[in-house]
Structure 1
């Protein structure tokens, strides 16, 4: 048992206690945010903002610039999504769950490509191409940027984007030495699947009523 524990958490031996506590808090708020998203609850955004603020600070300290940019983008999109989800499109209704159009996918891909260029420029500027994980980092950044925009627009396909990013992130964060964050993305995989099925059911029910 001790060997398993050491294998999973030995990376934290070099970290300050406050960093471990902060990461734990960020992970818990991240899980809460994902669960709220699955339940189509507006609380996805205030809980997500708390999680992203903590992660931005920690990732800056750990010099994980690509990941820090992702979390910064999450923060911005959380504010944007909060506005979209609470904006009334008519006196009786708010922005509903809907299916993404070709235009929506095109915008998501464009946002992803712009983020890719931005992360590459930042990594070049700070000379951070020291490991293969940096290249995977740019890939997940591109995927998550597109997925978060889809989430803010309440498109059911956002879960598919996030699912791919989460699958890649589990081994990536573990190899980087952030076991708690790796476990967080493992939980996100389950929530992404559940969220997709729940939102699709919600969408189908709405179409039947209409």
Structure 2
């Protein structure tokens, strides 16, 4: 079985797809065959843009993925840009369909990067939230957090959720050019309370290795 990594974030538009693409490159540099999986994407009028971008990026390094279809990379899609629970009208999501798609993808890979939708407590249907997927898929979680004011609260809430559910995880900051106050307003707290801090742009290779070590 391929090693499975579930990429999530503290909220929507934090940088999951950006980070996943960096991980595709990092694992490919390590000589590993990388696959991608976007189980659910909302806001899809025709083509699932996030899933398509990930698939195309992965195919550059692992051409075997071209034997799959975009429907297999992104099995569940909804037009409304909302939580799957809302976008899908609260109907049950066929989880077995996701399991089957993941198994097909990982037969071509050493590592599968699974990108969630929104954050950990985005509801999928009446029974399931995003935070339930890493355990279902047997994946280690990578949490992407932001560097804006408020990141301390957002990050700690998400780390507590991962700890409370006893999920294995690694986390890192996706700092953007406009996050100029981070070093003054937020970094001092994190530096005082955490031994290792990862900044995704700077530390993607170290993040990739740590995720593999966490799986092992």
Structure 1 length as normaliser, TM-score? 0.32
- Give the number of the structure with larger relative contact order, counting CA–CA contacts within 8 Å between residues 6 or more apart: 2
Q: Which has the higher strand share?
A: 2
Q: Which has the higher helix share?
A: 1
Structure 2 length as normaliser, TM-score? 0.31
